[in-house]
Amino acid sequence: MPELPQKEVEEIALLARVHLSAEELADMRSQLGAILEHFGSIAAVDTEGVAPMTHAVPIDLPLREDVPQPSLPPDVALAGTAKRDGDLIVVPAIIPGGE
Amino acid sequence: MTVDPAYWSVADIARRIAAGEVSAVEITEAFLARIGKVDPELGAYLVVDETGARVQAQQVDLMRGANLPLGPLAGVPIALKDMIVTKDVVTTAGSKILEGWVPPYDATVVEKLRAAGAVILGKVNCDEFGMGSSTERSAYKQTKNPWDTTRVPGGSSGGSSAAVAAGLCAASLGTDTGGSIRQPASFCGVVGIKPTYGRVSRYGIVAYASSLDQVGPLAHSVADAALVLQAIAGHDARDSTSLPSAAPDFSAGIAAGVAGLKIGLPKEYFAGEIDADVRTALAAAVAALKDKGAEIVDVSLPHTELALPAYYIVAPAEASSNLARYDGIRYGKRADATDLLSLYSRTRGERFGPEVKRRIMLGTYALRSGYYDAFYKKAQQIRTLIKRDFDEAFEKCDVLLTPTTPTAAYELGAKATPLEMYLGDIFTLACNLAGLPGMSVPCGLTSTGLPVGAQLLGKPLDEATLLRTGAVIEAAVGLGDKRPRGFA
C-alpha cells in the first residue's frame, strides 16, 4: 500500500482526537501506509470457523456481591485534574463559541 | 560499617538483614548513594524516592528490632517501571501527558511488595506507555545499556533492565505486552519473566493493551526472579482477568534439574536472520541442557510469522481505546482551548509522542466502523491459531527454547523507521498473544562482550518448568560474576 490518502488520515485523527501538524500528517500517511501494507498479509489467512481468542486460560466472568466498596474521597480522586470548581471538573463549552 | 550490596542476591539481602548482619537502612543508603553516583550517566531512574525508601527501610529495622515477623523481601530495594502506579510518587508511563501526575493509590503489585517488606527505591524509565523496544521513545530521557553506553538497554522496560544490570536495585518490576520484559532482560544480561496472563494482577498498571499486558520481575538470577514473582503473583478481585488459581511455591523446584525434561526447539524461530553470536550462545545452552539429561526435540509452530501482524493490530487497537482516557480532563496537563473537542485533540496532539500517536492512529484505523472484522476480529482469530500451535507443540515437549532476540543490543538510533523497530520483536510477541509464560535468561556474551538471552516459553501456569530449565542454563552458560565494565 502506498501512502494513505490525506483525507482518510485526517478522518482517523479526528476519530482518535489527536491533533496533527501538517508535517505529522504527511509522516503518518507514509508510515501508516507502510505498516498496513506489511500487516495486510493477515487478510489472506483462512480463519473460517476459528473462534477469536480472549484468554489463555478460560475463566468465567467474575462477579461479586452487589455491596458498596470503599472508594476514594472526592478530593483525592479529583486531585489530578487541571481545573476544578469544588467537586466539579471545569471544561470548556462543548459547542464551539457557546458558554 | 560501609557495605557494597550492589550485586548481592535478593535472598542474601533479606537473610543478612533478618540475621542482623546489616540494617535495611544501610542497604538502602548504599543503593541510594550508588544511584547518585552512577545513574546520571546511565539514565535508568525517572524518580528516586529517597524519603519514601528511607522510611520503608527504617520500618523494616524497627520491626526487626521489635522481633516482629519480617516479610520475605524485608529490606530488599526494588525499582518499578513507571507504568506501575505508586501512591504519592509521580507516575508518568514515560509520557508528557501524565507529567507530574501523583496517583492517589498503589497498584496491587506495589501493595504486595510493600507487604513483603520490599523497599521501593523509585520509578524507572520506559518507552512511552510501553510502546517501543529500546526506551528511546521515553518522553523524558534516554536510558543507556550498562554493557555499552552507546547502545540501547532494550525496551520498553529498559530502565528496569539497566537498573538491575548496573546494580542500582536488587531487582525490578517491568511490564511485558510484546516482549518488554524479556527483550531488555536479554539486552542487559539479566533474568526477566513474563508470567502467564492473569497470574499477576494488572490493577494499577497503566494499561497499554489489556489482553496482553503482564507485570513481571527482572533480576540478577533465576532464584531472585522467582522470589520477586512469588511476592507479586496471585488472585486479585480488582482485576477481572486475574486467574483464580493460587500461585505455587516458585522457588521449590528450581534446583530440580532438567533430566527427563523434553525441550522443544521450534524450527521457525531458528530459520530467519539471527546473528551468528546469538546462534552460538543458543547452541551452547542447548548442549548444556542435553548434557544435564534433557531430551531435545524439534517442533514446529507454523503460524509464527503471523504473530507480528496480529500483534500490531491487537495492541494498537486496544491502546487506542485504553489511551482515550488521557484527554486533559482528569490527569496531567491540558492544552489551552475554547471548546471541548479542541481541548481533547490539542492536549493529546501536544503531549503524546510520535510512536504513541502512530499506534493510536493505527488502532483507530483498525477499529473503525466496518473494519472491525477485517482487522481486530481477524487478529484475535489468528491468536487462536497461534495458541493451537503451542498446544500441539506442548504435546511433544515440556518447554520451548528460542533466542529472545535476533541480535544483541543495538546502537542508539540504529532502528530508523517504526517498521524496522517492530520487526525486532519477532521472537517475543507470540508468547503474549497466546498468554503463555515466558522468560529470558542470559546464555553468554557475543564476541564484542554483549549479553545474549535464551527465551523459554512454557505451558499456561507452568512458570515452574521455565525456572528449573533457566536455572540449568544459568549455571552452565550464564554470565556468572561477569558485570558490565564500569559498573562492576
pLDDT < 70 regions, chain B: 1
Torsion on CA atoms B25, B31, B33, B38, rounded to nearest 10: 180
pLDDT score recorded for residue A99: 45
Dihedral over Cα of B464, B466, B468, B474: its sign? negative
Please determine, for residue A93, whether its predicted confidence score (pLDDT) is greater than 70. yes
Q: Chain A within 8 Å of B306 (Cβ-Cβ)?
A: yes
How far is it, in rounded angstroms, from Cα B476 to Cα B474? Answer: 6
Paired residues of B451 in beta bridges? B445
* Cβ-defined contacts of B294-298 (< 8 Å, 24+): B294/B258, B294/B259, B294/B260, B294/B261, B294/B262, B294/B263, B294/B469, B294/B472, B295/B260, B295/B261, B295/B262, B295/B263, B296/B263, B296/B265, B297/B262, B297/B263, B297/B264, B297/B265, B297/B396, B297/B397, B298/B264, B298/B265, B298/B267
What is the Cα–Cα distance from B123 to B34, expressed in whole angstroms? 16
Give Cβ neighbours of residue B290 (< 8 Å, ≥ 6 apart).
Answer: B296
> How confident is residue A14, by pLDDT bands cut at 50, 70 and 90?
very high
Is the confidence at residue A55, as pLDDT, over 90?
no
Chain B residues in contact with A31 (beta carbon < 8 A) = 358, 417-419
What is the pLDDT at residue A82?
86
Is the Cβ pair A45, B382 closer than 8 Å? yes
The tens digit of pLDDT for each residue in B388-428 reads 999 999 999 999 999 999 999 999 999 878 888 888 899 99
The distance of B334 to chain A (nearest Cα, Å) reads: 7
Q: What is the pLDDT of residue A94?
A: 82
Q: Which of A57, A63, A89 to mutate to test the interface with B (most CBs of B within 10 A)?
A: A57
Cis peptide before B180 (omega within 30 of 0): no
Domain ranges for chain B, please list them.
1-488
Sheet holding B191-194, edge to edge: B45-48, B119-124, B77-81, B171-176, B214-219, B191-194, B438-445, B451-458, B399-403, B262-266, B295-299
Tens of pLDDT, residues B339-380: 999 999 999 999 999 999 999 999 999 999 888 999 999 999
Cβ distance of B364 and A57 shorter than 8 Å: no
Q: Look at residue A39 and tell me if it is in a domain.
A: yes
Average pLDDT of span A63-92: 91
Share the mean pLDDT of chain A: 89
Identify the band that residue A1 occupies on the pLDDT scale cut at 50, 70 and 90: low
* Residue A50, pLDDT score: 96
To the nearest whole Å, the CA of B90 is away from the closest chain A CA by 11
Give me the mean pLDDT over the A46-54 stretch.
92
Which of the pair, B73 or A2, is modelled with greater confidence? B73
Task: Give the predicted TM-score (pTM) of the model.
Answer: 0.97
If 0-12 CB within 10 Å is exposed, 13-18 middle and 19+ buried, where does residue B19 land? exposed
Tally the domains of chain A: 1
Instruction: Assign residue A26 the CATH number of its domain.
Output: 1.10.20
Domain containing residue A13: 6-44
Asked if residue A40 belongs to a domain, the reply is: yes
- The interface residues of chain B toward chain A in range 323-382, judged by CB-CB distance below 8 A, are 324, 327-334, 337-346, 348-350, 352, 354, 357-358, 360-362, 364-365, 368, 374-375, 377-382
DSSP single-letter state for residue B233: B
SS (H, E, C) B44-105: CEEEECHHHHHHHHHHHHHHHHCCCCCCCCCCCEEEEECCECECCECCCCCCHHHCCCCCCC
Predicted complex ipTM exceeds 0.90: yes
Could A12 and B364 be called an inter-chain contact, meaning their C-beta atoms sit closer than 8 Å?
A: yes
Which of the four pLDDT bands, split at 50, 70 and 90, describes residue A9? very high
- Indicate the class that CATH gives domain B1-488: alpha beta
Q: Is A18 a member of any domain?
A: yes
Look-up of cell digits 520490599: B118
pLDDT digits (tens, 9 = 90+) for B214-257: 999 999 999 999 999 999 999 999 999 999 989 999 999 999 99
Residue A59, in any domain of the structure: no
Residue B422 has a pLDDT of 86
